[in-house]
């Protein structure tokens, strides 16, 4: 079993191994003294993996209770959160008990936020079951729910007690959801790791399973380094947002219906690279993105996308910060007055 240890405000292990889902009970037992494990999951993941996780937890002596909500981003809201709080009250969950987030980023984010806030905080285990959740959302302690006014507007930093990552669970993912995660994987290669990028260039969406464990471990280790340097997102952590300034605008322009997050990130990276990279680097990125069945651009006019970039909640005053990778493996944070950025991107004139 590969273990990566994160040294943030809380130190915790990330275990990566095919088949370790069935050992989640014994592994969690090493981390917490909890009597009860409250599993939070969605209906799709529950059907696939709920019993395996419950059985393993019970075999390790946990009393197990389970809350299941409908899959999808629409569930990452205050209504579901309140239902989770009610469920934890009904089951007499105490601060020494433990939550278990079993699922993709939606489950991880809302369970993490419940763990940060219920009884002013209790431990939680992340068991990510999508590629995006394994390489990104389960690591680093960002938790959140969405509001009608925007995504992830209410949240907290709350590190898990551990992350259990079983690449075998990715075999049941629809290919579009796997591709979505590959958008973030390609991003890691672009921002920090040319060798990872070169490895990705040798595979495609059908064949990546052959090396997925290595790829996941590389991505998690990059995220670990970034989080250890800037846990609370005041500087370096922003490099994880390569492609995201345009991606958020693309998702919003299409009302979160046409492009998944990972596909919007892929297009956002390529569109930014076209403006900032040498042609051969832009071509390598586009070829890699295409091999994973992701888009390299969108039809929406830049003039309509750029104003939506300004709505990013992380925007600092009148300046807009964005990430460029002029070379593969080397990200830089840039800042420009919004009007100048708009003119430079071909939106409106300054
Ligand atoms: P998701 O949780 O909605 O999962 C996608 C779909 O896959 C769901 O329908 C789910 O039921 C299904 N699924 C999950 N695991 C499966 C499996 N093994 N087999 C078959 N189906 C499975 O979406 P996601 O892409 O995992 O996560 C997106 C969320 O993550 C967004 O809310 C985003 O804001 C958040 N996010 C958070 C961070 C962070 O740092 N906290 C980072 C990136 C994204
Ligand atoms: N997904 C971006 C971050 O964790 O900061």
Residue 337 lies in a domain: yes
Per the structure, how many domains does the chain have?
Answer: 2
Ligand 1 site, residue 142, Cβ cutoff 6 A = yes
pLDDT at residue 312 tops 80: no
Closest-approaching ligand to the CA atom of 222: 2
Ligand 2 and 240: CB distance under 6 A: yes
Considering the chain, what is the average pLDDT of its residues?
Answer: 95
Q: Is the CB of 25 under 6 A from ligand 2?
A: no
Choose which residue among 50, 133, 168, 265 to substitute to test ligand 1 binding: the one with the highest number of ligand atoms within 8 A of its C-beta.
Answer: 133
Which of 256, 41, 51, 29 minimizes the C-alpha distance to 133? 41
107 and 155 fall within a common domain: yes
Do 27 and 146 have their domain in common?
yes
Tens of pLDDT, residue by residue over 137-195, are: 999 999 999 999 889 999 999 999 999 999 999 999 999 999 999 999 999 999 999 99
Does 243 lie in the same domain as 111?
A: no
- pLDDT (mean) for 99-128: 98
Asked whether residue 58 falls in the same domain as residue 112, the answer is: yes
Number of the ligand closest to the Cα of 175 = 1
Question: Is residue 297 assigned to a domain?
Answer: yes
334 CA distance to ligand 1 middle (Å):
29
> Does pTM top 0.75 for this prediction?
yes
Distance 275 CA to ligand 1 centre (A): 30
Question: How far apart (Å, rounded) are the C-alpha atoms in residues 22 and 53?
Answer: 6
- Could you tell me if residue 350 is inside a domain? no
Same domain flag for 114 and 204: no
Q: Which ligand is nearest to the CA of 187?
A: 2
Of the listed ligands, the closest to the CA of 108 is 1
Residue where a domain stops, chosen among 117, 146, 172: 172
Distance between CA atoms of residues 236 and 116, nearest Å: 24
206 falls within a domain: yes
**Residue entry with tokens 């890699």:** 288
3-class DSSP state of 295: coil
What ligand is nearest to the CA atom of residue 170?
1
Is the CB of residue 213 less than 8 Å from the CB of residue 14? no
Say yes or no: CB of residue 107 within 6 Å of ligand 1: yes
Say if 190 falls within a structural domain. Answer: yes
Q: Name the nearest CA neighbour of 168 among 15, 4, 17.
A: 17
Do 315 and 182 fall into the same domain? yes
Mean pLDDT in residue range 258-284:
95
Which parts of 292-337 fold into alpha helices (H)?
302-309
User: In this predicted model, what pLDDT tens digit does every residue of 10-57 receive, in sequence order?
Assistant: 999 999 999 999 999 999 999 999 999 999 999 999 999 999 999 999
Give yes or no: residues 286 and 269 share one domain. yes
Closest CA to 292 of 192, 176, 213, 188: 176
Q: Which of 249, 47, 262 is nearest to 137 (CA)?
A: 262
Q: Is 130 in the pocket of ligand 1 (CB under 6 A)?
A: yes
Which of 172, 203, 238 terminates a domain? The answer is 172
- State whether 159 and 180 are in the same domain: no
| Domain CATH code at residue 236 | 1.20.1090.10
Residue to mutate (ligand 1; options 53, 103, 154, 259; most atoms within 8 A of CB): 103
| 96 within a domain of the structure (yes/no) | yes
- Say yes or no: CB of residue 142 within 6 Å of ligand 2: yes
What distance in Å separates the CA atoms of residue 283 and residue 156, rounded to the nearest whole number?
A: 38
State the residue range of the domain holding 135.
2-172
Residue 348 — very low, low, confident or very high, per pLDDT cuts 50/70/90?
low
In terms of domains, do 146 and 191 share one? no
Distance (Å, whole) CA 235 – CA 323: 12
Both 179 and 145 in a single domain? no
In this structure, the answer to whether residues 138 and 263 fall within a common structural domain is no
Clarify whether residues 34 and 45 are in a common domain: yes
Residue 150 lies in a domain: yes
- pLDDT, position 302: 92
Residue (of 173, 171, 178, 168) closest to 22 by Cα position: 168
Distance 105 CA to ligand 1 centre (A): 4
Work out the percent of the chain whose per-residue pLDDT is above 70: 97
Residue 110 is assigned to a structural domain of this protein: yes
Which of 117, 143, 172 terminates a domain? The answer is 172
- pLDDT score of 318: 76
Please report the atom of ligand 1 found closest to the CA of residue 109. 41
Task: Indicate whether residue 306 lines ligand 2 (CB < 6 A).
Answer: no
Count CB-CB contacts under 10 A for residue 164. 26
Q: Which atom of ligand 1 is nearest to the CA of 112?
A: 41
């Amino acid at each position: 079993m590969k273990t990566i240890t994160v040294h943030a405000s809380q130190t915790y292990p990330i275990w990566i191994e095919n088949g370790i889902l069935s050992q989640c009970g014994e592994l969690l037992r090493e981390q917490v003294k909890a009597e009860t494990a409250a599993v939070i999951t969605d209906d799709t993941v529950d059907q696939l993996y709920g019993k395996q996780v419950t059985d393993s937890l019970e075999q390790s002596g946990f009393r197990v209770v389970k809350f299941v909500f409908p899959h999808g981003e629409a569930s990452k809201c205050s209504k579901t959160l309140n239902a989770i709080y009610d469920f934890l009250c009904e089951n007499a969950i105490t601060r020494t008990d433990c939550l278990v987030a079993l699922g993709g980023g939606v489950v991880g984010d809302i369970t993490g936020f419940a763990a940060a806030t219920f009884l002013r905080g209790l431990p939680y285990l992340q068991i990510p079951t999508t590629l995006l959740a394994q390489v990104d959302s389960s690591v680093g302690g960002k938790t959140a729910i969405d509001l009608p006014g925007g995504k992830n507007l209410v949240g907290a930093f709350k590190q898990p007690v551990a992350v259990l990552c079983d690449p075998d669970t990715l075999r049941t993912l629809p290919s579009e959801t796997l591709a979505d995660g590959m958008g973030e994987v390609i991003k890691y290669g672009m921002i920090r790791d040319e060798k990872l990028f070169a490895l990705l260039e040798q595979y495609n969406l059908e064949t990546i399973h052959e090396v997925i464990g290595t790829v996941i471990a590389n991505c998690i280790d990059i995220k670990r380094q970034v989080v250890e340097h800037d846990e609370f997102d005041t500087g370096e952590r922003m490099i994880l947002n390569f492609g995201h300034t345009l991606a958020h605008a693309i998702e919003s322009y299409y009302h979160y219906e046409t492009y998944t997050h990972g596909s919007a990130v892929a297009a956002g990276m390529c569109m930014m690279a076209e403006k900032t990279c040498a042609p051969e680097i832009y071509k390598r990125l586009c070829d890699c993105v295409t091999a994973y069945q992701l888009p390299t651009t969108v039809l929406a006019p830049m003039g309509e996308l750029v104003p939506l970039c300004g709505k990013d909640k992380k925007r600092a005053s009148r300046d807009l910060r964005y990430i460029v990778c002029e070379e593969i493996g080397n990200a830089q944070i840039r800042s420009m007055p919004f009007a100048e950025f708009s003119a430079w991107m071909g939106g409106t004139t300054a």
